[in-house]
Chain A
Amino acid sequence: MLDLDMTPYAAFVWPAWGVSALVLAALIVRAVIASRKWKRELERLEAEDAPPPQATLDAAPRADGPQVVRSTIGPKE
């Protein structure tokens, strides 16, 4: 069974595990956020690159997908 009574070392065991968990969680969150960000950006750019008429329909974002943000510096077809 789980033994969660760390006395007299609770002040050492829990911070060690807690900070480890925090740092690992931060690493994971950071990796996932960065991954999503650049994936989205790449999809947006590739959708813009595709020939306009049919492809815009094909590459249209799903209803729950991210909003397509118009690039302010990109060409206005």
Chain B
Amino acid sequence: MFGLSNPQRFMAFTGPLTPVLWAVAAVLLAVGTWLSFSVPADYQQGDTVRIMFVHVPAAVWGLGAYSALGVSSFFALVFRHALADAAARAAALPGAAFTALALFTGSLWGQPMWGTWWVWDARLTSVLVLFLFYLGYMALRASIDDEQKGARAAAVLGLVGLINLPIVKFSVDWWNTLHQPASFLTPGSSGLDPVYLPPFLTMLAAYGVLFAALWLTAIRTEIRRRRVLTLRARKALEA
């Protein structure tokens, strides 16, 4: 783990790993898509059950990406390590995109199931809040001119967000019991028919590996970008 904190060793180690991840992600996505459309439609939900195969993985890895961001922020803060900061930065955009996808597909799933595009149920609301956390993180990072200061301020916020996320989740759940919504079918929780496990798990894995590939690639890009900036600064000094 800590051996990899050296950027050069990290580059050497992840260099061959990244193409493998991309390839695995492509295969899993293809197989998952095929499986998703070859299982029979649900007797209750009909074909909308197929939305689940893109909705739930996006939500799960949107949260997973935020955990990656928060843990990286922690390492960036405690060990003041540039690589950890690059990792936190690199996780933000894919994570925010996954979360936005979860919201969008969730609302497309909700419309035929609940008869409305949006329901303020605890799960959807929590995902929305997660998206807001991403927005805050990216906004903070973007609006501080000094890159290093922006990075550390963003790291503090990322860590605070990670600590706050369970509390927000708890408060939203509590709020949900308070309002006692009509008992509608909550997608994903109502005992998944085993028929749907293969496509679901494959897509879950596919999104996970895809996130890993995107993340690693972005970290490698960030390391190279910083190296370029250093070289440029050195040249400017020499000139």
Interface residue? B89 (CB, 8 A): no
Contact B55 A27, beta carbon cutoff 8 Å: no
| B93 adjacent to chain A (CB < 8 Å) | yes
B217 interface residue (CB < 8 Å to A): yes
B222: nearest residue on chain A (CB-CB)? A38
A42 and B224 within 8 A (CB):
yes
Binds A, one of B35-43, B150-158, B188-196: B35-43
Interface digits, B193-236 against A, CB 8 Å rule (1 contact, 0 not)? 00000000000000000100010011011001101100110011
- The A contact surface, by secondary structure, is helix
Main secondary structure of the interface of B (DSSP, over half): helix
A residues contacting B by CB (< 8 A) are: 1-10, 12-13, 15-17, 19-20, 23-24, 26-28, 30-32, 34-35, 38-39, 41-42, 45-46, 48-49, 71, 73-75
| Besides A12-B112, A17-B51, A19-B104, 14 other A-B contacts (C-beta < 8 A) | A1-B38, A2-B34, A3-B40, A4-B37, A8-B46, A13-B50, A16-B109, A19-B105, A20-B58, A20-B105, A35-B221, A38-B228, A73-B235, A75-B235
Closest 4 CB pairs of A and B: A38-B224, A16-B105, A20-B54, A45-B231
Ordered by A's residue number, 29 sampled pairs between the chains whose C-beta atoms are within 8 Å are A3-B41, A5-B47, A12-B108, A12-B111, A12-B112, A13-B51, A15-B108, A16-B54, A16-B104, A17-B33, A17-B54, A19-B104, A19-B105, A20-B54, A20-B101, A23-B101, A24-B97, A30-B93, A31-B214, A32-B217, A35-B218, A35-B224, A38-B221, A38-B228, A39-B221, A41-B224, A41-B228, A42-B224, A75-B235
